[in-house]
Structure 1
Amino acid sequence: MAADYDEVRSDVKESQERSLEALKSASAPDTRRVVTELDEADALDEGLTPGGEIVSEELIVQVVPQAADEFTCSSCFLVRHRSQLVRERNGQSYCTECEG
């Protein structure tokens, strides 16, 4: 007797039908409930850092004004020393890296 190797085995076919029936009978999640759960999770994450630590203190940063021998590059917006000034046109300064 010749065997048809392309035919699906009976045990595989039965398991596929059972899993299909299980998927059909499973209920889809309620969209309102999912949105509510996501909103609650976002509310809990507001005070967390990327590492998961809760930060309740304010950061204090001292701002130092630009010195007389410094300039702000009009291309990269970094504060550079005057020795890195390459070009100055119409009141805009450019550094060696941006003009390089």
Structure 2
Amino acid sequence: MPTDYDAPRTREDGASEHIDTPIPRRSQSPGGDLDDGDIVESYELPGADLSGEEFSATVVPRQDGEFVCMGCFLVHHRSQAGKVNDDGTMLCTDCVG
């Protein structure tokens, strides 16, 4: 059975939905009833004190056949090169696209 995608949509209760109908927004404040003028001064995440921690990670240098995209600054394989600029810099296919 063909579907007419240009026809207005109707809900199961028979009411039609329009794109101009406003959607009610939920409250964005995590605490509930905070006004814009309210200031949360001493809100700390549990276990968030990382001042005494050291970060250790192994950094691998860029390998042959890889490039750094000048759009997103991520390292990609050369097969994902989308554009090579006049100055030799490269953009990945996601940034070109």
Please indicate the TM-score interval, normalised by the length of the shorter structure.
Answer: 0.3 to 0.5
Say which one has the larger Rg: 1
Q: Which has the higher helix share?
A: 1
TM-score computed with the length of structure 2 as normaliser: 0.48
TM-score computed with the length of structure 1 as normaliser: 0.46
